[in-house]
């Protein structure tokens, strides 16, 4: 039987911590259920979108259990930069926290270990490889024997799964936690996991008895826009200038590219075009990478051009756009990467340029990998799901959420909803393309690549066509009325519906798949959208809008001036503390202060994001800044 009174008492303690430490009035979504469950010793698997408040789901229980004499909570995190900023944010809020990772000197690590043994810490952040060292295990076992180990939080839990987009082998070894630390509750958290990945997380981390909490995957403030790749870098520049120019230059954003070389080229191109941009990839010196990441977190309006080596755990709330110049491997990766935009809940854009070569490249990487066939088949299915999203003519968000098992209604805020694409019956051209692939293979005994097939369709007597006698095929020239761009768009769609497959051996050759039969027999229809790069509706754009207060009304000119002064003050404090500005106060908190314009420290009560420690530390300074605008 559930002890309702005990549960209510636990929830009351959690709400008190939420308000007094973090300055938030109430929990959101399933947070209240999660923190109560973990506080009372339950294991949990939490799936919550980026910006949904995952950190509070283990930070609040850690503080409540520490207050009850349960000791320290250990947070497993794969990222040094994230540890630094989260510990900094907790310290700002008055919580004793520290981290152990390779960035520390021996002397600093020993100092933190001493704090841990003395019971001076409420939360300790560690990398998985550090946690699994004999030295760290011995310390934790000693604490466990003394009853001073309150919980384990495993952040970015999808890293444990081979199906996850950020698989890290060292996460697998975290399965030892329930065996070595019996009775210590565990909470595993991730923003992105489909059903297959969730099942793998449960199995690998031995969370079969854990309670699962799944929040909506919807990020309604993000607009999804996918365009056909023509001149990708020019398209990117136009997108940033049209959608993300502001008085200071441009918004902060992230541009993802597939290769290190491409990252360097695009970063240089943006710099030459007048944008403030930096490259980030694993081939850069570690100190350079760290410097670029720190600048991105601390400076306004900086664009990071990166491989997927950048981004996991990045907490910057005011990233206004994420752009992809190359198609990701799967929907989980796409969702995770686009989710780095708009963490503050304000309008943001997820823009991607993709083409047939992206599909070919991704399929080749899968086929060339040394993985077992069963594994490759799953990866192909995940890529096909992303291709179907890219080729969709209906609501992007409905398709994206359905992939994660969530049904929804058309959103009215993606490119297809705002500007529904024109469709036409492309069944006859599809038959021509499929017939050409079939005739070429029949005549030659093997397949050919997309370029050669299109040359035959369009009646181009190239040297390769004539050398193979393909100008004599019945399909030679039957598609001369279409451009190569149109044929490539149709081919992408036929690959998406599994009528055509691309084999990497030997040269990305095209072959008919099961889906081709119905089309060739006249039993299936192909509807193709008319390709056009459409500008989003200006009225729903993610362009900067006049700032609004916590009641949703626009700030007056005087309030905006006050907000600017508060941001200047915050920047100075952040620089002094070597922390990103949002760790001191979020923009929403500053907007609420500017709108209220308090005359006394007590007037700060009830403003979201101001806990007791921050009110004590910064209250007088805030009142002084505001006094000039009364």
Per-residue confidence (pLDDT) for residue 1, from 0 to 100: 39
DSSP strand E in 369-450: where? 423-425
User: DSSP characters for 510-544?
Assistant: EEE-TTHHHHHTT----EEEPP--PPPPGGG--S-
The first and second tokens of residue 220, run together, are 């309604």
Average pLDDT over residues 540-568: 76
At 421 the three-state DSSP class reads coil
User: DSSP characters for 24-53?
Assistant: -SS--TTHHHHHHHHHTT--EEEE--TTS-
Per-residue confidence (pLDDT) for residue 504, from 0 to 100: 57
Q: Measured between alpha carbons, how far is 484 from 459 in angstroms, rounded to an integer?
A: 11
Per-residue confidence (pLDDT) for residue 2, from 0 to 100: 44
Pairing of strands 245-246, 249-250: antiparallel
Residue 167 has pLDDT above 70, yes or no: yes
- Short-list 194, 208, 202, 244, CA closest to 223: 244
Residue 540 has pLDDT above 60, yes or no: no
Domains of the chain in start order, with CATH, are 4-214 (3.40.50.300), 222-418 (3.40.50.300), 423-529 (1.10.10.10), 557-627 (1.10.150.80)
What pLDDT, in 10s, does the model give residues 507-526? 678 889 888 888 988 888 88
Q: How many CB atoms lie within 10 A of CB 374?
A: 7
User: DSSP characters for 317-356?
Assistant: TT--EEEESS--SSHHHHHHHHTTS-TTSS-EEEEEEE-H
Per-residue confidence (pLDDT) for residue 248, from 0 to 100: 72
- The values of phi and psi at residue 413, to 5°, are -140, 30
The first and second tokens of residue 319, run together, are 């990233």
Cα-based distances in Å from 319 to 299, 303, 348: 11, 9, 8
What pLDDT, in 10s, does the model give residues 242-288? 999 876 778 999 999 999 999 999 999 999 999 999 999 989 998 89
The strand pairing partners of 306, in sequence order, are 256, 280
Average pLDDT over residues 54-67: 96
What pLDDT, in 10s, does the model give residues 423-480? 888 899 999 999 999 999 888 888 888 889 999 999 999 999 999 999 999 999 999 9
- Short-list 588, 580, 573, CA closest to 621: 573
What pLDDT, in 10s, does the model give residues 475-504? 999 999 998 888 988 888 888 777 888 775
Of 247 and 88, the structure prediction assigns the larger pLDDT to: 88
The first and second tokens of residue 442, run together, are 């029949």
Residue 41 has pLDDT above 70, yes or no: yes
Query: Where does the pLDDT of residue 538 fall: very low under 50, low under 70, confident under 90, or very high at 90 and above?
Result: very low
Per-residue confidence (pLDDT) for residue 542, from 0 to 100: 45
Calculate the CA dihedral of residues 266, 272, 277, 278 and round it to 10 degrees: 70
- Which spans in 159-231 are helix H? 177-180, 195-204
- Short-list 253, 280, 282, 275, CA closest to 264: 280
Residue 188 has pLDDT above 70, yes or no: yes
The first and second tokens of residue 288, run together, are 């350079």
Residue percentage of the chain with pLDDT more than 70: 94
Residue 307 has pLDDT above 50, yes or no: yes
The rounded mean pLDDT for the chain is 88
Per-residue confidence (pLDDT) for residue 43, from 0 to 100: 96
Residue 93 has pLDDT above 90, yes or no: yes
Average pLDDT over residues 156-162: 86
Query: Where does the pLDDT of residue 185 fall: very low under 50, low under 70, confident under 90, or very high at 90 and above?
Result: very high
């Amino acid at each position: 039987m559930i002890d309702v009174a005990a549960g209510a008492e636990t929830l009351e303690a959690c709400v008190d911590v939420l308000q007094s430490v973090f300055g938030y009035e109430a929990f959101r979504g399933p947070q209240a259920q999660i923190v109560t469950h973990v506080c009372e010793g339950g294991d949990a698997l939490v799936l919550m979108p980026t910006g949904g408040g995952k950190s509070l789901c283990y930070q609040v229980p850690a503080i409540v259990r520490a207050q009850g004499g349960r000791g320290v909570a250990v947070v497993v995190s794969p990222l040094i930069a994230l540890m630094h900023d989260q510990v900094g944010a907790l310290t700002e809020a008055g919580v004793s926290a520290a981290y152990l990772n390779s960035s520390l000197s021996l002397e600093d690590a020993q100092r933190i270990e001493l704090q841990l043994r003395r019971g001076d810490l409420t939360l300790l952040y560690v990398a998985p490889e550090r946690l699994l060292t004999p030295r760290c295990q011995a310390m934790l076992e000693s604490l466990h024997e003394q009853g001073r180990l309150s919980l384990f939080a495993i952040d970015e839990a999808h890293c444990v799964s081979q199906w996850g987009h950020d698989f890290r082998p060292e996460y697998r070894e975290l399965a030892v936690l329930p065996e070595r630390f019996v009775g210590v509750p565990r909470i595993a958290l991730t923003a992105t996991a489909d059903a297959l990945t969730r099942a793998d997380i449960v199995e690998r981390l031995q969370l079969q008895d854990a309670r699962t909490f799944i929040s909506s995957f919807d990020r309604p403030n993000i607009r999804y826009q996918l365009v056909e790749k023509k001149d990708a870098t020019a398209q990117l520049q136009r997108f940033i200038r049209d959608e993300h120019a502001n008085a200071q230059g441009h918004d902060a954003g992230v541009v993802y590219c597939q290769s290190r070389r491409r990252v360097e080229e695009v970063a240089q191109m943006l710099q030459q075009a007048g944008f403030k941009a930096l490259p980030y990839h694993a081939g850069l010196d570690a100190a350079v990478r760290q410097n670029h990441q720190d600048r991105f977190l601390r400076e306004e309006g900086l664009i990071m051009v990166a491989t997927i080596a950048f981004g996991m755990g990045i907490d910057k709330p005011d990233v206004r756009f994420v752009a992809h110049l190359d198609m990701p491997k799967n929907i989980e990766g796409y969702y995770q990467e686009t989710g780095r935009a708009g963490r503050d809940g304000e309008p943001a854009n997820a823009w991607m340029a993709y083409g047939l070569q992206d599909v070919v490249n991704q399929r080749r990487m899968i086929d060339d990998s040394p993985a077992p066939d069963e594994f490759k088949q799953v990866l192909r299915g995940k890529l096909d799901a992303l291709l179907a999203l890219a080729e969709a003519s209906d609501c992007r968000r409905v398709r994206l959420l359905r992939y994660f098992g969530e049904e929804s209604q058309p959103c009215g805020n993606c490119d297809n909803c705002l500007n529904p694409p024109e469709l036409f019956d492309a069944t006859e051209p599809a038959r021509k393309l499929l017939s050409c692939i079939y005739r070429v293979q029949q005549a030659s005994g093997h397949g050919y690549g997309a370029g050669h097939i299109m040359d035959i369709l369009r009646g181009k007597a190239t040297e390769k066509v004539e050398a193979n006698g393909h100008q004599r095929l019945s399909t030679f020239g039957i598609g001369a009325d279409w451009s190569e761009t149109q044929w490539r768009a149709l081919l992408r769609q036929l690959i998406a519906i599994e009528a055509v497959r691309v084999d990497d051996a030997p040269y990305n050759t095209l072959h008919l798949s099961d889906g081709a039969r119905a089309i060739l027999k006249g039993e299936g229809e192909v509807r193709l959208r008319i390709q056009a790069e459409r500008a989003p509706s200006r009225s729903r754009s993610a362009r900067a809008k006049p700032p609004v207060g916590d009641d949703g009304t626009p700030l007056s000119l005087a309030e905006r001036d006050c907000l600017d002064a508060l941001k200047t003050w915050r920047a100075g404090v952040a620089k002094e503390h070597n922390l990103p500005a949002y760790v001191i106060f979020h923009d929403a908190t500053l907007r609420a202060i500017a709108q209220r314009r308090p005359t006394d420290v007590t007037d700060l009560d009830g403003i979201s994001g101001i806990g007791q420690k921050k009110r004590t530390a910064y209250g007088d300074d805030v009142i002084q800044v505001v006094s000039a605008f009364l």
